[in-house]
Amino acid sequence: MPDTMLKVEALNQYYGGSHILRNLTFEVPAGKVTTLLGRNGVGKTTLLKTLMGLVPAASGRIVFDGRELTRAPSYERVRAGMGYVPQGREIFPRLTVEENLLMGLATRPRGTPVPQRVFELFPVLRQMMKRRGGDLSGGQQQQLAIGRALAFGPRLLILDEPTEGIQPSIIKDIGHAIRRLASTGEMSILLVEQYYDFARELSDYYLVMERGEIIMRGEGARMDADGVRAALAV
């Protein structure tokens, strides 16, 4: 396995009396796509919010590129190089596309331009720079959310179900963008998905989550042979 970009050790999280994350331990290799799969309600989104510091970890460790960030605030994690595209996109609907993208540069010096790579991956954003985010289609908003996260040049990009509620043509565009980003080896990607075929096509490594625990893991090329689809259907 390549060098590790993100290491999670014995991570626990609770909501009230419910034990949501149960001693989660896994790694995200540098420069690869790691896919986290699981049905609704198993704790995937809670895990991502904990990784980003939006929810404090009850116990365990989060180590990013050799630096422990378990108790670090969210802005420090972003400055360290962690980019996050939440489920539901959460763009700013009253801001223009350009203004949304500039929000992604908040940790960069004033006047830093939006990288051309964002427009190469999602040409529609250049065409709609002056339109308000709320006027875009769901698929275009998803592209905007990913573009915003890419604007500051993250070393780890975390995507929470980017295909949810998106038309097939834009799912293909997003898949193509992920493949292009991964092909450079410059960025690690942690992709949370329920769409099995999309995940299988992109995964270098996979994790399967059930009831707050990792129950399966392996190389993406072995997802069919390992019975991942059947495990998700149980």
- pLDDT range class, residue 38, cuts 50, 70, 90: very high
231, 16, 51, 75 alpha-carbon torsion, rounded to 10°: 150
Q: What is the pLDDT of residue 70?
A: 97
Q: What is the pLDDT of residue 89?
A: 82
Give the helix, strand, coil percentages of the chain, each rounded to 5.
35, 30, 35
Q: Please say whether the structural domain 4-233 has been given the CATH code 3.30.70.1350.
A: no
Q: Is the pTM of this model over 0.85?
A: yes
| 100-110 average pLDDT score | 91
| 201-206 average pLDDT score | 96
Contacts 24+ apart (CB under 8 A), 105-114: 105/151, 105/152, 106/152, 107/75, 107/78, 107/79, 107/152, 108/152, 114/147, 114/151
- Domain extents for the chain? 4-233
Average pLDDT for the chain:
94
